[in-house]
Amino acid sequence: MRRTALLMTTALVVAFATTSRAAPMLTAQPDPTPDVAPFVQAIPAAMPDRDALIQALRQKVKYVFVIFNENHSFDNEFGTFPGANGLYSDGTSPRDAAHTPGFIQHYTAADGSDVTVKPIRLGPEQNSSVIDSVDHSHTGLAAKLHVTGTASAMDQFAQGEYARYAGRGGAANIAMGKQFAQVVMSHIDCDTVPFYWKWASRFTLFDNIFATEDTPSSPNAIAMIAGQSGETQWVKHGTTAPTVTIAGKTGTLQMPPIVNDPQPFWSSQFDTTGDGKQPMGSKTGESYANGNIATNLTFATVPMTLGGKQTAENMAQDRHPEQNQADIKQDLATIASRAGKPVAWRWYQEGYDHEPTDSSATATHDSYVSHHNGAQYFGYLADNPAYRDNLKGLGDFYADMARGDLPVGGGVFYIRGGFTNLLGETPPITNPDYPAALTDADKAAIAKAKSGDDDHPGYSDRQLSETMMARVINAVASKPDIWSQSVILIAYDESDGFYDHVPPRILSFGPDGLPLARGIRVPTLMISPYARAHEVAHPEGDHNAVIETINAIFDLPALASLPDEAQALKAGEDPRFNGPGGFVQHYLGPRDINAPETDDLLAGFEPDRLSGKLPPLPGSLAIIADADMRSLPHYAGQGCRAIGVTPEDARQSVRPAVPAGFNSLPATLPAYNGQ
Pair 506, 579: CB distance under 8 Å: no
Query: What is residue 293's DSSP assignment?
Result: B
pLDDT band, very low/low/confident/very high, at 8 (cuts 50, 70, 90): very low
Mean pLDDT of 649-675: 94
- Give the C-alpha separation, 643 to 628, whole Å: 12
Dihedral sign (CA 37, 39, 41, 47) = negative
Mean pLDDT of 453-478: 98
Q: Where are the domains of the chain?
A: 2-74+205-627
User: For 367-386, how does the pLDDT look when each residue is reduced to its tens digit (9 = 90+)?
Assistant: 999 999 999 999 999 999 99
Per-residue burial over 324-355, b = 16 or more CB atoms within 10 Å of its CB, e = otherwise: bbbbbeebbebbbeeebebbbbbbbbbbbbbb
Pair 618, 202: CB distance under 8 Å: no
- Give the C-alpha separation, 73 to 210, whole Å: 9
Question: How much of the chain, in percent, has pLDDT values that exceed 70?
Answer: 96
- Give the C-alpha separation, 302 to 378, whole Å: 12
Length, in residues, of the chain = 675
- Give the C-alpha separation, 522 to 243, whole Å: 36
Mean pLDDT of 58-73: 97
Give phi and psi for 487, each to the nearest 5: -135, 135
Vertex 400 angle, CA 367 and 476, to 5°: 95
Q: What is the pLDDT of residue 16?
A: 30
Candidates 138, 134, 279, 283; CA nearest to 220 is 138
pLDDT band, very low/low/confident/very high, at 675 (cuts 50, 70, 90): low
Residue with the larger pLDDT of the pair 47 and 259? 259
Pair 454, 465: CB distance under 8 Å: yes
Query: What is residue 184's DSSP assignment?
Result: T
pTM: 0.95
Mean pLDDT of 2-23: 34
Neighbour count for residue 305 (Cβ, 10 Å) = 27
Q: What is the pLDDT of residue 7?
A: 29
- Give the C-alpha separation, 672 to 417, whole Å: 30
3-state DSSP call for residue 74? helix
Q: What is the pLDDT of residue 248?
A: 87
Residue 49 pLDDT > 80, yes or no?
yes
Residue 22 pLDDT > 70, yes or no?
no
Residue 82 class from Cβ within 10 Å (0-12 exposed, 13-18 middle, 19+ buried)? buried
Pair 296, 272: CB distance under 8 Å: no
Q: How far is CA 558 from CA 28, 119, 332, 544, in A?
A: 31, 39, 13, 10
Residue 124 pLDDT > 60, yes or no?
yes
Distance of CA 22 to the CA centre of its chain: 28
- Give the C-alpha separation, 581 to 225, whole Å: 31
Residue 435 pLDDT > 50, yes or no?
yes
- Give the C-alpha separation, 107 to 104, whole Å: 11
Average model confidence (pLDDT) across the chain: 94
| Amino acid (one-letter) located at 79 | G
Mean pLDDT of 52-68: 97
Residue 173 class from Cβ within 10 Å (0-12 exposed, 13-18 middle, 19+ buried)? middle
- Give the C-alpha separation, 120 to 90, whole Å: 18
Helix, strand, coil share (%) of the chain residues, nearest 5: 35, 15, 50
Neighbour count for residue 248 (Cβ, 10 Å) = 5
Question: How much of the chain, in percent, has pLDDT values that exceed 90?
Answer: 92
Pair 422, 350: CB distance under 8 Å: yes
Mean pLDDT of 257-271: 96
Pair 586, 573: CB distance under 8 Å: yes
Residue 466 pLDDT > 50, yes or no?
yes
Query: What is residue 377's DSSP assignment?
Result: G
Residue 12 pLDDT > 50, yes or no?
no
Pair 183, 205: CB distance under 8 Å: no
3-state DSSP call for residue 30? coil
Residue 466 class from Cβ within 10 Å (0-12 exposed, 13-18 middle, 19+ buried)? buried
Pair 394, 415: CB distance under 8 Å: yes
User: For 185-196, how does the pLDDT look when each residue is reduced to its tens digit (9 = 90+)?
Assistant: 999 999 999 999
Pair 162, 106: CB distance under 8 Å: no
Q: What is the pLDDT of residue 24?
A: 63
Tally the C-alpha atoms within 13 A of residue 630's C-alpha that lie toward its C-beta: 6
Residues 6+ positions from 294 with CB-CB distance below 8 Å: 218, 253, 254, 258, 262, 263, 264, 265, 377
Q: How far is CA 213 from CA 259, 508, 567, 645, 669, in A?
A: 8, 9, 21, 33, 31
3-state DSSP call for residue 193? coil
Pair 417, 463: CB distance under 8 Å: no
- Give the C-alpha separation, 327 to 106, whole Å: 47
Q: Alpha-carbon dihedral of residues 595, 601, 606, 611, nearest 10 degrees?
A: -80
pLDDT band, very low/low/confident/very high, at 137 (cuts 50, 70, 90): very high
Q: What is the pLDDT of residue 18?
A: 29
Mean pLDDT of 644-656: 96
Pair 607, 26: CB distance under 8 Å: no
Pair 186, 122: CB distance under 8 Å: yes
Residue 40 pLDDT > 80, yes or no?
yes
When computed from its CA atoms, the radius of gyration of the chain, rounded to whole angstroms, is: 24
Mean pLDDT of 588-596: 95
Least confident of 16-30, 287-301, 376-390, 549-563: 16-30
Residues 6+ positions from 141 with CB-CB distance below 8 Å: 135, 214, 215, 216, 495, 497, 519, 520
Pair 11, 44: CB distance under 8 Å: no
User: For 520-535, how does the pLDDT look when each residue is reduced to its tens digit (9 = 90+)?
Assistant: 999 999 999 999 999 9
- Longest CA–CA separation in the chain, Å: 80
Residue 163 pLDDT > 80, yes or no?
yes
3-state DSSP call for residue 265? coil
